[in-house]
Structure 1
Amino acid sequence: MENASVRLMHYDPRWRQEFEQTRSSILSSCEGDVVAVEHIGSTAISGLIARPTIDVLAGVTNPASIPSAARLIEGLNFRREPFGDWHDRDGVQLIKPRHRSESEPEPTHCVFLMVHRSDSWKQTIAIRDFLRTHPELAIDFEEAKVKQWRHGEGDPRRYAANKAIFFAHLLDQM
């Protein structure tokens, strides 16, 4: 997944439906372990250019439920991946590969499974909600993201690093 070029697309209203289907599948398959599922990332902000990957935050109340919930989500054609730097280490990241192919690196969905209302949970939801309620900052984010994407020629490491810088500045404004 690391060597693939980042692909960006104009907002697709079907992303909301994709999230709702994923949310329903996770809640029904996780037998009560998962108590909340939230749509996050740029696909959750109406109108923004984004990677065509539906990012999902799934929360459990008991940290001991994370392994069993992760196994149940894996049953929905997801696989575990190393957690990104901006999330707590007690969670699990699961991705759904595009076309179930290992050679197609960009996933269709990414689930961050963690404790509901943990610090990472609260921060992620706060950023999403802040961008939803401050469209001028969301547009600034989009412009910076596209500019850096072009400058970095779609390199995933540079793309992620530049987004992290923007989010650090955004957190200072919140």
Structure 2
Amino acid sequence: MPIDVIDYDPDWPERAERACEELTASLPGVFLEIEHVGSTAVPGLAAKPIIDLMASVRLLAAVTDREAALEGLGYRREETGMPGRLFYRREDPAGRRSHHLHVVTADTWESRNERLLRDHLRADPQAAAEYAALKRALASGDPDGLAYTRGKTGMIQRFVDEARRSRGLPLVPVWEE
């Protein structure tokens, strides 16, 4: 399936806010923090039109015990093999991915690469433009999803390393095993 990278949509933050409100209302008291992350959270950045959210919890079991509520909102868990994380996807009525929800524990919240990358790109328009150009080039080359993701790895690693250094955090690989 081709990768669809489109111009920034000013509606993305509102869609993310609505999704956060739905999640908080459906699982009251479960999420400690919930934020819009990913490329759709960076004003002006071209992106795949998928709203990425990241939420923190004390224990992941607080979410797995309440998955029926997530399913009621259209979120389905997908096994990613990433330790210490739950991942849910949501599709629109046409069957296209519309949202991703990453759930992590609160003790890792401040050092999450997704949040660090988002903040770095928001603060550095040149980095955001460089990233957008790479994403468009990769998407135009008829990649599959894995090739597209892997093609961004070097640049994402560089930006995350810059963000981690600026905060005095240890450097870590951007892709969890």
**Normalization by structure 2: what TM-score?**
0.83
Worse-superposed segment, 163-172 or 27-36: 163-172
Q: Kindly, what percent of the aligned residue pairs are identical?
A: 25
* Mapped partners of 1:97, 1:27: distance in 2: 19
| 1:32 paired to 2:20 | no
Unaligned stretches of 5+ residues in structure 1: none
Q: Quick one: distance in 2 between partners of 1:114 and 1:70?
A: 15
- Three-state SS of the structure 2 residue aligned to 1:27 is helix
Residue 101 of structure 2: aligned partner: 111
**1:4-25 Cα shifts (integer Å, max 9, x gaps):** 2211111111111100100001
Q: Which residue of structure 2 lines up, in the alignment, with residue 58 of structure 1?
A: 55
Question: How far, CA to CA, are the matches of 1:25 and 1:75 in structure 2?
Answer: 11
- CA 1:109 to 1:126, structure 2 compared with 1: closer, same or farther past 3 Å? same
Shift in Å, 1:121: 5.6
1:148 corresponds to which of 118, 138, 145: 138
Corresponding position: 1:43 with 2:36? no
For 1:160 and 1:120, the matched residues in 2 are separated by 24
Return closer, same or farther for 1:43/1:119 CA change in 2, 3 Å cut-off: same
Contact 1:40 1:125 in 2 (8 A): yes
Deviation of residue 82 (structure 1)?
A: 2.1
Assess if the C-alpha contact under 8 Å between 1:91 and 1:115 holds in 2.
yes
Query: Post-superposition shift, 1:160?
Result: 0.8
1:82 corresponds, among 79, 82, 100, to 79
Are 1:171 and 2:160 matched, yes or no? yes
Give the C-alpha shift of residue 173 in structure 1: 2.4
Shift of 1:147: 1.3
Q: CA deviation at 1:35?
A: 1.4
CA distance in 1, matches of 2:22, 2:160: 32
Q: What is the one-letter code of the residue matched to 1:97?
A: E
Paired residue secondary structure (2:65): helix
Classify the secondary structure of the residue corresponding to 1:18: helix
| Alignment partner, residue 96 of structure 1 | 90
2:32 is paired with a residue whose SS is strand
CA distance in 1, matches of 2:155, 2:11: 26
Q: Note the residue ranges of structure 2 that are not aligned, 5 or more in a row.
A: 164-177
Normalised by the size of structure 1, how large is the TM-score?
A: 0.85
- Decide whether aligned partners of structure 1 residues 96 and 121 sit closer, same or farther in structure 2, where only a CA change above 3 A counts: farther
Contact preservation (8 Å) 1:30, 1:72:
yes
Deviations, residues 104-148 of structure 1 (Å, cap 9, x unaligned): 3x3111111111241686222111111101111011111111112
Shift in Å, 1:169: 1.7
Q: Which amino acid aligns with 1:169?
A: R
For the 8 Å contact 1:70–1:92, the answer to whether it is kept is: no
CA contact (8 A) 1:29 1:72 kept: yes
